[in-house]
Structure 1
Amino acid sequence: MIICNKEDVIKAIETHNVKFIRLQFTDIEGSVKDVEIPVTQIEKALGTGISFDGSSIEGFVRIDESDMVLKPDIRTFAILPWSNNHKGVVARIICDIYMPDGKQFDSDPRYVLKKVMKEAEDMGFSLNVGPELEFFLFEKVDGRATTKPHDYGRYFEFAPTDLAEDIRRDIVLTLTDLNFDIEASHHEVAFGQHEIDFKYGGALATADNVMTFKYVTRTIAKIHGLHATFMPKPISSENGSGMHVNLSLSRGNENAFYDPDSEMEISDTTRYFIAGVLKHIKAISCISNPLVNSYKRLIPGYEAPVYITWSGANRSSLIRIPSARGKSTRVELRSPDPSCNPYLTFAAILASGLDGIKNKMDPGTMMDYNVFDLTKEERKERGIETLPATIKESANYLEKDELLKSTLGEHVHDNILRLARAEWDAYRTQVHDWEIQRYLNTI
């Protein structure tokens, strides 16, 4: 179902007997919010928009300036496949956020990304993004989620060990109904861990798809009596869940990262882009890895990146260049996790890459060996730095990063720092089970 204009929306509503519309948007933390309206209000929604209280949304506006307006992006209209019941079919539309005076809310995560995309467009580029989201399926007890894996399969496992084949198929079929182009699905390394990959696309549409993907996955898991989580590291002894991000810049119909006549068949633009991301990655981490738990994934021994390096197909590097060339030439940033806000994460990565291109930055020496095998002294000799070890540390880097402060806008920048530091303070002031088990009977 292709929606191009208001008339297409009205026709789809009539054809599918839609009774309710969910107007969805994303807050600064990356949580989906929605306002549900009866279909009788669709003309108003598509015209002047639907008002809501922005002061109730984390990081938006204060109570004395709370009136905000949701304006639907009609291209995101979709029927929710699981909603066809006696209460009526439900559709959703992703919205942009406006102020009462008609100006777009400049701290809307969607708008933050649009602004950086416009900067890239002015330079002759468009960003394509292909994320790889991992997630866990856990059992429920009395309706509450546990950390007991739904199965005990491993990487690329299949039935009968992989118990989630049918669930993944249901997720894939639902996403296909929502116009996703699914490339593959499989069991991941950890018990109960899975991955479903969808085709790359423009940055904004892909960020929308990430939010829809998480929404659909949780819903289908719930229908099957399970809990789906995108928590980065729910089990300490198992691999965590990442959201590797494949990135390429297009210039018209050409892949700006591909140069058949240069070393590795990658362009100078690619190297500049990588250098910019490497320069800002410690600050980006506060956005792409926004939880205390995020940094329990970014440790040696569990395939997640730790060291700030780039390479060819070498998976021990933070940024690698997969072997495909031509239109498929891309770079893969391996540190983000699926708890992030994709709009802000893609905006920060793109702004950093453009900074590298503008200033023709040098990414340094390519690491074509396993960085994890190096000793501390060998890494020091090679000048290899590490990602931040905590959300507190990454927040300190973001605070000092003027490029990202400008990219995000002061309001979003300050709220991300506030939320990160509140997260750290809440964590450090708690007494955890590990401490009780370690100290109570010995001290």
Structure 2
Amino acid sequence: MTSGNLTTAEEHVLEEIEEKDVDFLRLQFTDILGTVKNVSVPARQAEKAFREGIYFDGSSIEGFVRIQESDMRLKPDPETFAVLPWRTNEESAAARMICDVINTSTGEPFEGDPRYVLKQALERAKEMGYTVNAAPEPEFFLFEEDEEGRATTKTNDAGGYFDLAPKDLASDVRRDIIYGLENMGFEIEASHHEVAEGQHEINFEYDDALSTADNVGTFRTVVRAIAAEHDLHATFMPKPIARINGSGMHTHISLFTEDGENAFHDGDDEFDLSDTAKSFLAGILDHADAITAISNPTVNSYKRLVPGYEAPVYVAWSDRNRSALIRRPAARTPAASRIELRSPDPSCNPYLALAVMIHAGLDGIEKDLEAPDPVRENIYEFDEAKREEYGIDTLPANLGEAVEALEADEAMLEALGDHVSEKFIEAKKQEFGDYIVEVSEWELDRYLETF
């Protein structure tokens, strides 16, 4: 099957396809809103995909191109090849590769491809002498399905934070999810039941930022597929149930120098953080409102970002507590020094979310911004006057405010590029507008018979 100018990695994929009896390939990519799309081709088309790419109609994908500009090409990344754990049997298997999107008219990367947007952020970091590592902590809920197989909001357990069986009845599901992820090459650090009933978290190892973003999309796909095998519905909706904790995706990030040293570590500093880390942190705080539009991109995201439910709504940082937007986690080794942005939720597009975080942080380094003093008290207990005294702002209260902040932040618009920023803002304004005109059951229950 191999010949000519294929790379070693591509040839290795072709060998794996034969060895593992892979019949079909899912060529995956992500639209601007973060939805994973795929084109399924017979595995015998793999070599053609590597040499020529696979063509598709870009006009059918949310936020990609207009009908007259529709021809797009998928270029598979051989490093992302993995056999799908829920499609394997004794005779054959299906596998996936994550693709870059190419504009066929120019032969160049498509500027509306979220993976390309992240690659541009990483290129900026590289030019400044850094590589970027990241690790997300995506949380999710497991709900029962009704008799017709549709999702409900009824949890299948009554567990709480770090509970063990029998309260944590979903431990078997988490185990199967972990096995599936490990079969696809994930290195799982830990898994546990989260605070709310039916809520779970599975943490995977730190990796370079591009692999991390790829992994988030894969993670969501695997979790949903294996939950469905247990007749459960997995959702990454930020706040599916009122008045309990929502699902976040706390994101850890750090920079490394070309010689492999952690640029965020300084053993002589009170917080073990270098000036580089503090400027990076300050950059994120400076652009926090605009970042929120990307990291918390749905109307429902702002039902999570409210005081009282352990969600970070206050623009500050801390080396001790989790009430601030950014936390400096304890690090056992210099290589583990990092910062944790606690606002993102798992409904976000991981490529765009990481891209704006990285650009904001690099902006802080380039401008030599100084981080404010850390807030070591519980900000949740501050009243408005005390927050003003400390100079602590609050994140946007809703999607509309967040999009307005994004529109006003030239650095973050530039980070996304003209195409993505225009299409994203257009889609989110429409989403918020649709939400504003809806009348909810809460309003009917409260007002219909009262007035």
TM-score normalised by L of structure 2: 0.96
Residue in 2 that maps onto 1:417: 425
Q: Please state if 1:83 is matched with 2:87.
A: yes
Contact 2:20 2:92 in 1 (8 A): no
Residue in 1 that maps onto 2:377: 369
Q: How does 1:16-415 map to 2 (within 5 A)?
A: 16-85=20-89, 88-100=92-104, 101-141=106-146, 142-251=148-257, 252-324=259-331, 325-415=333-423
Of 317-326 and 237-246, more deviation after overlay is shown by 317-326
Structure 2 unaligned regions, length at least 5: 1-6
Task: For residues 197-229 of structure 1, give each alpha carbon's deviation from its aligned partner in whole angstroms, at most 9, with x where no partner exists.
Answer: 000100000000000000000000001000000
SS of structure 1 residue aligned to 2:145: strand
The amino acid that maps onto 2:428 is A
Size of the aligned set, in residue pairs, is 441
TM superposition shift of 1:4: 5.3
Structure 1 unaligned regions, length at least 5: none
Contact 2:290 2:403 in 1 (8 A): yes
Mark the CA change 1:171 to 1:387 in structure 2 (over 3 Å): closer, same or farther. Answer: same
SS of structure 2 residue aligned to 1:309: strand
Distance between the aligned counterparts of 1:135 and 1:61, measured in 2? 32
Contact 1:4 1:75 in 2 (8 A): no
SS of structure 2 residue aligned to 1:350: helix
Distance between the aligned counterparts of 2:8 and 2:83, measured in 1? 15
TM superposition shift of 1:427: 0.7
RMSD over aligned Cα atoms: 1.1
Task: For residues 231-277 of structure 1, give each alpha carbon's deviation from its aligned partner in whole angstroms, at most 9, with x where no partner exists.
Answer: 00001121000000001111131110111112222100011001000
Of 305-314 and 51-60, more deviation after overlay is shown by 305-314
Residue in 1 that maps onto 2:3: none
SS of structure 2 residue aligned to 1:308: strand
Task: For residues 384-442 of structure 1, give each alpha carbon's deviation from its aligned partner in whole angstroms, at most 9, with x where no partner exists.
Answer: 10000000000000001111111111110011111111111111111111011111111
Aligned-residue sequence identity (percent) comes to 54
SS of structure 2 residue aligned to 1:93: strand
TM-score normalised by L of structure 1: 0.98
TM superposition shift of 1:88: 3.4
Residue in 1 that maps onto 2:4: none
TM superposition shift of 1:124: 0.7
The amino acid that maps onto 1:105 is F
